[in-house]
Chains A and B, each alone.
Chain A
Amino acid sequence: AQSVAQPEDQVNVAEGNPLTVKCTYSVSGNPYLFWYVQYPNRGLQFLLKYITGDNLVKGSYGFEAEFNKSQTSFHLKKPSALVSDSALYFCAVRVSGGSYIPTFGRGTSLIVHP
């Protein structure tokens, strides 16, 4: 079985400050991890992924995420938040060599205040 937890329903941050959106996962095997962003009335847009290699993954729009195997976490980060980053963020996992169906978290609403 595979699962994802996003412990925060909402994250508030001031523009210009660093942001972190948390994600922890559970899989039986090596994980493939993903972050997606959803703007209002839009579908999900792929941000970045971890498959193997460097634990720090860089993605679109200045976002990055760090894979931590011991803590089974894959937190999304950005050094300086923009108001336009306000959106719903989803973490997803699937197991390497297993099911091709990713399991998504419940999503975290990021609100960046001017």
Chain B
Amino acid sequence: GAGVSQSPSNKVTEKGKDVELRCDPISGHTALYWYRQSLGQGLEFLIYFQGNSAPDKSGLPSDRFSAERTGGSVSTLTIQRTQQEDSAVYLCASSATGKTEAFFGQGTRLTVV
């Protein structure tokens, strides 16, 4: 596709369940970011992948959060034992080598009930 694709668009889950969020970056983009957007809180950095380098996980809020990127392309963000405070919009972005701006997907709205 032409842009960053995220699925699902919306996810409602029960507290304590695990969820997986998927991001399909723009083809050829080597950098991939995950951010979390909570109401009134702006964008919170979660994790950054660059090529085959070890990811920068410094923004992950707890060990319940993890992410992987397979084959330098698709990424999956996993949240284990979801809590109500995990409710937010999860945004994925990618950028090309040598480019400074990132391109965002439409996000996954996660609601934990």
Contacts and interface: CB of A to CB of B under 8 A. Distances in A.
A41 B107 CA distance: 8
A105 B100 contact: no
21 contacts: A32-B100, A34-B100, A34-B101, A36-B104, A42-B106, A43-B4, A43-B6, A43-B91, A43-B93, A43-B104, A43-B105, A43-B106, A44-B43, A44-B104, A46-B102, A90-B42, A90-B43, A99-B56, A102-B102, A103-B45, A104-B42
Nearest to B9: A41
A104 B35 contact: yes
A36 B43 CA distance: 12
Interface of A: 32, 34, 36, 41-46, 49, 51, 90, 94, 99-107
Contact of B100 (A51, A90, A104): A51
Contacts of A42: 106-107
A45 B93 CA distance: 10
Nearest to A4: B42
Contacts of B103: 46
B71 interface: no
B98 to A, nearest CB: 11
Nearest to A32: B100
B26 interface: no
Nearest to A94: B100
A90 B35 CA distance: 13
Interface string B3-38: 010100000000000000000000000010101000
A112 B91 CA distance: 26
B105 A101 contact: no
B104 to A, nearest CB: 4
B108 to A, nearest CB: 10
Interface string B47-67: 010100000100100000000
Contact of B42 (A94, A99, A101, A106): A106
Contacts of A43: 4, 6, 91, 93, 104-107
